[in-house]
Amino acid sequence: MSRIDKLMAQMTLEEKLGQLTMTASSYAVTGPIIAGDSTDSIADGTLGNLLNMVGTGPTHEMQRLAVDKSRLGIPLLIGLDVIHGHRTLFPIPLAEMALFDPRAWELTAREAATEAAADGLAMTFNPMLDVSRDPRWGRTAEGPGEDPWLGARLAEAKVRGFQTADLARPDALAACAKHFCAYGPVMAGREYASVDISERTLHEVHLPPFEAAVAAGVASIMPAFTDLNGIPMTAHTELLGDYLRGKLGFEGVLISDYNAIGELIRHGVAADLVEAAALALNAGVDIDMMADAYRKGLPIALERGLVSMAQIDTSVRRVLRLKEQLGLFDDPYLRGSAAEAPEVVAQRRTLAREVGARAIVMLKNDGDTLPLAPGIGKLCVIGPLTDNGPEMGGCWGAAGEPDKHVSVLSGLRQGFPGTEIVHAAGTAIRDDDASGITAAVALCDGADAILLCIGEAHNMSGEAASRAYPELPGQQRALTEAVLARAQSLGIPVIAILFSGRPLVIPWLAEKADALLAAWFLGSEAGNAIADVLSGKVSPSGRTPMSWPRALGQVPIFFGQRPSGRPMNPDDFFTSKYLDVANDPLYCFGHGLSYGRFAYADLRVTPDRVSPADAIHVQVTITNSGARAAQDTVFLFTRDPVASVARPLLELRGFGKIDLAPGESGVVALSLLASDLKFLGRNLAPVFEAGDVEILVGPCADRAQLLSAVIKLR
Ligand code: NOJ
């Protein structure tokens, strides 16, 4: 008999439901502290899983209660939201997407997992795979941005990075793909609101990242808080059961979001906790996070015949199997048994700095304002995010220590040792006090360059942080305009460094600043990473993973839109347009400048006639005609001009990178499989249709900048 069979044969109903319950611990680092009866329940075997606990001391102490005190000695599964780092914080996920580098995505996950496992953890609620095309939605910060194909690449990299090929390793964490699914298109960008989208959009846009996570072997999946076309995801039998378990063959653990089973009552699909528990179990949700609906409701649901013992057993087996795969039965203290060496921690900080610098997207750099001259005499740094280490961390702090994050000011002091640096906040991030603006503006006189450190607070994006005005909050626009006016009269260049968890709507700033950097939230090493880019030590290479709107009225705005029967045409009134703003974004997907200057030529696509089994090889020559070495990112798109279902104007299929010295040329080779050109036909079944397909290559999703060739599918 296997270990799991033996345990199953001995477990009482209470013990089984304990394995299906996850409770926040009293050693919480995030969220409310709800200890309740937790420790007693652990000792009597009626609580099997914890979240929000951190540190070897507390995790091992709780583990000892479970292993030594409870009747069957089943170890606990302990998880935390390790989203963009654990103690060492890396850039927020949206910022990390700007790297377009799956190896780097994997590496930061690997480092975060190693650090978290050393703290006694065995699970992270990550990766977050919700495609977002609406910057109002605060959780945009946590996810892959606007493109499903890119989200799928992220899923693979993160699952590999967190889990490795062997979950039982002492430095591996079980990953949790979330939030399944279609959480991003919440109505009007408002957090936790209803979602109403087509089956086609669901399958083409929102499911692919989860399909990739399952294919990569993700250990667990979390249903979204939201409903999809009227059915809350926590009770979505068709998508959780038929699709995820059935069609995709997902055998891992489904874990509810925080209190989501209880919230089925407020969704209006369950009358009480008993019905809520039955709905979730029937949909296949194995672990109840924080609603305590399973322990309270399932015994009654059993009596009423709403669920069966066999269903409970199936879920318990899944949870026990995950604990077994994680090696917890063999050694519950494996994770956290050895402290990390200081060099390891220092190397991780170095990685955070490198990734941080690469996540910065240089949106504008008129007249080569950047990099700053190495011996620049005087810098004036203004804005509430200048001398503000704690804000650099971003939306998921995990176990990060905010007082150890490097502020822009200290990064600049390190990076520009001979330079005189004057600084002022000018105003707070979000309050209405404009009294400091005049004094801040007065500091500009005599500066060689002015840096503005402006944007959102770290908690103005992430969960429960939707914004109807995704712009500069508080008095920051007044501050910025006053500084810009003064700088213009003095002839001093202004570099705006924008902190945000989303694209902001800032057309006026984009027009007036000489240079503009999207610095998102870069984590522990933010200030150093920014100084590295400003000084030219690193040439910026980040590319925006989301379109930046010119106006909020353009939202949702994304490159993968379908064509209109009346495409915009300035000579014809009755075409698809706005009367008051252009159709295109301020900065398109993939946009990002460097200190080089790249030109594309000589696109070659072979073969020019392909069958479904063929690979398509694409080559393009890139020349750096600029004066500095830099890295370019090349995007590969396709466009199917005539199909039985209208295809998007561009579909992302790949990207590549090349480092080029000044004057150097090089060839980037990319490939795709003709079978990737399958799409969901009228009945949503995959079809491969013969005909022409355009292959497009270039620096971003702006069609005017792409080279193209046509191949024939047969
Ligand atoms: C709620 C969030 O939606 C989810 O992303 C997170 O993993 C859980 N809380 C646990 O903290």
CATH code assigned at 520: 3.40.50.1700
Q: What is the mean pLDDT of residues 424-435?
A: 97
Residue 249, Ramachandran bin (φ over 0: left; ψ between -120 and 50: alpha; else beta): left
Residue 587 lies in a domain: no
B/e letters for 60-81, b = 16+ CB within 10 Å, e = fewer, are bebbbbbbeebeeebbbbbbbb
| Predicted local distance difference test score (pLDDT) of residue 33 | 42
Q: Can you say whether the dihedral through the CA atoms of 258, 120, 459, 221 is positive or negative? A: negative
List, for residues 529-574, the tens digit of each pLDDT value: 999 999 999 999 999 999 999 999 999 999 999 999 999 999 999 9
Please give the model's pTM, rounded to 2 decimal places.
Answer: 0.97
Q: How far apart are CA 61 and CA 283, in angstroms?
A: 34
- Does the residue 577 lie in any domain? no
Query: Residue 30 pLDDT > 50, yes or no?
Result: no
Mean pLDDT throughout 199-211? 98
Q: What is the pLDDT at residue 390?
A: 97
- The model's confidence at residue 34, banded by pLDDT at 50, 70 and 90, is very low
Confidence of residue 35 (pLDDT cuts 50, 70, 90): low
580/160 Cα distance (integer angstroms): 46
Q: Same domain for 310 and 364?
A: no
**What pLDDT shows up at residue 424?**
98
* Residue where a domain stops, chosen among 270, 294, 325: 325
Over 90: is that where the pLDDT of 195 sits?
A: yes
For residue 628, which phi and psi values (nearest 5 degrees)? -135, 150
pLDDT for residue 36: 55
Pick from 475, 412, 479, 472: nearest CA to 442 = 479
Q: What is the distance between the alpha carbons of residues 66 and 74, in angstroms, rounded to a whole number?
A: 6
Among 272, 296, 325, the domain-final residue is 325
Ligand 1, pocket-test mutation among 22, 34, 81, 466, most atoms within 8 A of CB: 81
Q: Which atom belonging to ligand 1 lies closest to the Cα atom of 126?
A: 7
pLDDT of residue 27: 53
Q: Is residue 237 part of a domain?
A: yes
Kindly tell me if the per-residue pLDDT of 252 is higher than 90. yes
Probe residue for ligand 1, chosen from 121, 257, 288 as the CB with the greatest number of ligand atoms within 8 Å: 257
Instruction: List ligand 1's pocket residues with C-beta within 6 A.
Output: 31, 51, 81, 125, 178, 257-258, 463
For residue 570, tell me if it sits in a domain. no
Given a cut of 60, is residue 338 above it in pLDDT?
Answer: yes
**Residue with structure tokens 């001009």?**
641
pLDDT class for 188, splitting at 50, 70, 90? very high
Residue 363 has pLDDT above 80, yes or no: yes
Total domains present in the chain? 3
pLDDT classification of 53: cutoffs 50, 70, 90 = confident
Residues 83 and 128 placed together within one structural domain of the fold: yes
How many Å lie between the centroid of ligand 1 and the Cα of residue 257?
6
Give 270-286 pLDDT, tens digit per residue.
999 999 999 999 999 99
Closest ligand 1 atom to residue 178 Cα is 5
Judge whether 562 lies within some domain: no
Is 257 designated active site? yes
pLDDT over 60 (residue 144): yes
Burial class for 165, CB neighbours closer than 10 Å (0-12, 13-18, 19+): exposed
* Interval 71-107: pLDDT, tens: 999 999 999 999 999 999 999 999 999 999 999 999 9
Q: Does 683 have pLDDT greater than 80? A: yes
Determine the distance separating the centroid of ligand 1 and the alpha carbon of 44, expressed in angstroms: 27
Residue 628 near residue 596 (C-beta atoms within 8 A): yes
Cα–Cα separations (whole angstroms), residue 470 to 257, 394, 477, 549: 26, 16, 12, 10
Q: What is the pLDDT of residue 24?
A: 87
Q: Are 386 and 432 members of one domain? A: yes
pLDDT bin (cut points 50, 70, 90) of residue 37 is: low
pLDDT above 70 as % of the chain: 98
Q: Is 314 found in the same domain as 183?
A: yes
Q: Within 13 Å of residue 2, how many CA atoms lie on the same side as its CB? A: 8
Q: pLDDT grade, residue 126 (50/70/90)?
A: very high
391/265 same-domain check: no
pLDDT at 237: 98
Residue 320 inside a domain? The answer is: yes
The residues, any chain, with a CB within 8 Å of residue 177's CB and separated by 6 or more, are 127, 129, 155, 159, 209, 210, 213, 214, 218, 220, 221, 222
Same domain, 306 and 348: no
Q: What is the mean pLDDT of the chain?
A: 96
- pLDDT tops 80 at residue 581: yes
Give the residue whose CA is nearest to atom 10 of ligand 1.
258
Q: 543 CB contacts (<8 Å, ≥6 apart)?
A: 98, 100, 361, 590, 591, 592, 633, 700
Closest CA to 399 of 173, 162, 86: 86
For residue 169, pLDDT beyond 70: yes
Q: Which of 101, 227, 257, 632 is catalytic?
A: 257
Q: Are strands 21-24 and 49-51 parallel, antiparallel or unpaired?
A: parallel
Task: Provide the sign of the torsion angle of the four alpha carbons 167, 170, 173, 174, taken in this order.
Answer: positive
Q: Are residues 169 and 310 in the same domain?
A: yes
CATH of the domain at 642: 2.60.40.10
Q: Is 586 domain-assigned? A: no
Cβ atoms 26, 33 nearer than 8 A: yes
Cα–Cα distance, 434 to 479 (Å, whole number): 8
Check whether residue 320 and residue 350 sit in a common domain: no
Residues 106 and 225 in one domain: yes
Per-residue pLDDT reduced to its tens digit, 465-518: 999 999 999 999 999 999 999 999 999 999 999 999 999 999 999 999 999 999
Query: Residue 191 maps to which CATH number?
Result: 3.20.20.300
Which of 191, 164, 158, 193 shows the shortest CA–CA distance to 177?
158
* Pair (194, 52) in one structural domain: yes
CA distances from 404 to 86, 348, 658 (A): 13, 14, 34
Domain final residue, candidates 502, 532, 554: 554
Which residue, judged by its Cα, is nearest atom 4 of ligand 1? 257
**Do 541 and 658 fall within a single domain?**
no
Range 372-377 average pLDDT: 94
Q: Which domain holds residue 389?
A: 342-554
pLDDT band at residue 38 under the 50/70/90 scheme:
confident
Looking at the structure, tell me whether residues 312 and 355 fall in a common domain.
Answer: no
Question: What's the gap in Å between 320 CA and the centre of ligand 1?
Answer: 22
Give the Å distance between the CA of 610 and the centre of ligand 1: 45
Q: What's the confidence (pLDDT) of residue 31? A: 37
Decide if 473 is inside a domain: yes
Query: Does the pLDDT of residue 32 top 80, yes or no?
Result: no
Give the pair of three-digit tokens for residue 379.
């810098």
